[in-house]
Amino acid sequence: MMKTRRSDRLVDMTYYLLERPRTLVSLTYFANRYESAKSSISEDLSILKRTFQERGIGLLETVPGAAGGARFTPYMLKEEAAEFVSTLMNAIDDDTRVLPGGYVYLSDLLGQPWFLRCIGRLIATQYLREPIDAVMTAATKGVPVAQAVAEQLNVPFVIVRNDTKVTEGPTMSVNYVTGQSQRLEKMELSRRSLPMGSRVLIVDDFMKAGGTIRGMASLVKEFEGQVVGVAVVADGQVENRVVAKYTSLVHVNTDGEQGLIEVTPGNYATEVYSADTPVDLVHPETD
Amino acid sequence: MMKTRRSDRLVDMTYYLLERPRTLVSLTYFANRYESAKSSISEDLSILKRTFQERGIGLLETVPGAAGGARFTPYMLKEEAAEFVSTLMNAIDDDTRVLPGGYVYLSDLLGQPWFLRCIGRLIATQYLREPIDAVMTAATKGVPVAQAVAEQLNVPFVIVRNDTKVTEGPTMSVNYVTGQSQRLEKMELSRRSLPMGSRVLIVDDFMKAGGTIRGMASLVKEFEGQVVGVAVVADGQVENRVVAKYTSLVHVNTDGEQGLIEVTPGNYATEVYSADTPVDLVHPETD
């Protein structure tokens, strides 16, 4: 490959960094890839950094020096987040979504790449500064959410199951009590899917009392890991929540008998875009 | 937003188009977004087009004229595809992956964003010129593959289930015969997740005889749709395959008794990178 023009480098570097969130790419790598001087690459990176910031795409941290490089961490700024949560609320606020048992039909939304990408960016923003080794969820409906978040964090995701599948190999299992009906159930995770001692983010599509999430937390303990956080797309109305600390994008209240739904913002915004948030999320600097 | 510099536009346009595969973005939109003349935007787009092509990122088609715009379609070129399939083969070629019943443990790979992104790009390449309305898969292990492909095609994905979930609302169901054990089973799909008459791409992680895939095909018929294609990550060794036309990235042969595995390339490369493939996939033009 010949020495490249700045304009071509900018396009390819943007692609390259967007494909590898949270990964330090060395100046040397870019210098070789484009057969260009490190000083030119540094100038390119400052253009990317400025544009990523101005457009609310994410943080581009540059590590100076010979061993230095650049790391891209996607985020979603407060204003775009508020807009997206409002879009999500409008999409869910539809009485025909009410299902028996206080559940809400969300599968159409959680099958749309655009919604999932926004959900992933939003939840990843919350853990901007936190090291995370894996995202965990429960089969089946949590899977798209886990995958969307894992993509933005650039870490693997693992799927906990209620049904024993012969195709999973050796598993670790826990018994847990479902939140509302107080039934005893079992969930399990393939041994080889999660290294011992991992820092785990638990996500799900919908949380009622939180029994499944409490079960996943005890499974993380069996793997000698640590729960970094719990994030769900929607939480429902319940009397006794068994999970104390979590974030939700929207809160859903249903009246199953009347078939009515009421959607309000979840606790996400107040938990994330607060005073102790990295200031660049609330007031991006401008040149 | 002030009139922007070319360098900033190139970075943001790259981001904007990558986030919206297969979508025509109008020149007018970009001209307003950057407060720049359409002629400048056209020049920017030709830089993106050249770099996307040289770097094997994808096709940038520009539609000229006042109502024109640009459409980005991701693809993976032959050389990168061969490299990825070889990486995939090496990762799967591990005797400890052999599970009872001729199955193979793939969940760790199908939980890694990088693998999934490559799988998605590769399978989407195959349908570069085909209109597709939705991607369909079977719960649970096909879900990550479906999501990865749907992202690249920028269409929704739908999940067919074996177990009746109360949280899915009204469903359409079919009975089907499993490929090998010839058991009669039932699978179903939520009515509201797939519009009638859709053009559907069926994907899965692993195919043995293909009973599940045949079931999905008959479900597509119930929805008065059309199966555009069938693509799986891996296919196993069986005597009587019930699905005639499909592509697989790798072919896996296991000896369950001895616990041995043998991995060879699937039929993907010969089906896709052939003479009647769009020529730009095999021999990208250079400036």
| Identity of residue A73 | T
Within a 10 A sphere around the Cβ of B83, how many other Cβ atoms?
12
For testing contact with chain A, the best of B23, B33, B107 (most A CBs within 10 A) = B107
Q: Which of A155, A143, A161, A18 is nearest to B147 (CA)?
A: A143
SS3 A60: strand
CB contact at 8 A, B259 and B98: yes
pLDDT digits (tens, 9 = 90+) for B212-240: 999 999 999 999 999 999 999 999 988 88
Domains of chain B: 6-74 (1.10.10.10), 78-282 (3.40.50.2020)
* Low pLDDT (below 50) residues in chain A: 1, 279, 283-287
pLDDT score, position A285: 43
Cα–Cα dist A41/B35, whole Å: 27
Please state whether beta strands A171-177 and A184-190 pair in parallel, antiparallel, or not at all (unpaired).
Answer: antiparallel
Question: What residues in chain B have per-residue pLDDT under 50?
Answer: 1, 279, 282-287
Give the distance from CA B274 to its chain's centroid.
19
Residue A13 C-alpha, separation from nearest chain B C-alpha, in angstroms: 9
Nearest Cα neighbor of A54 from B13, B16, B29, B8 is: B8
Interchain CB contact of B178 with A (< 8 Å): no
pLDDT at A167: 66
**Chain mean position to CA A19:** 16
The two tokens of residue B189 are: 């799909």
**What per-residue confidence (pLDDT) applies to A257?**
79
CA distance B263 to chain A (A): 18
Q: What is the pLDDT of residue B162?
A: 85
pLDDT score of A164: 62
**Tokens found for residue A177:** 């009590």
- Please tell me which of the candidates B10, B54, B167 has its beta carbon nearest to residue A10: B10
**For residue A240, what pLDDT is reported?**
87
Instruction: State the number of CA atoms in the 13 A half-sphere of B32 facing the CB.
Output: 5
Q: Using CA coordinates, name the residue in chain B closest to A52.
A: B12
What is the DSSP track for B13-38? HHHHHHTSTT-EEEHHHHHHHHT--H
| Predicted pLDDT at B169 | 81
Total beta-carbon pairs less than 8 A apart between chain A and chain B: 155
Spatial contact of B19 and A117, defined as CB atoms under 8 Å apart: yes
From B208's Cα to the closest Cα of chain A, the distance in A is 13
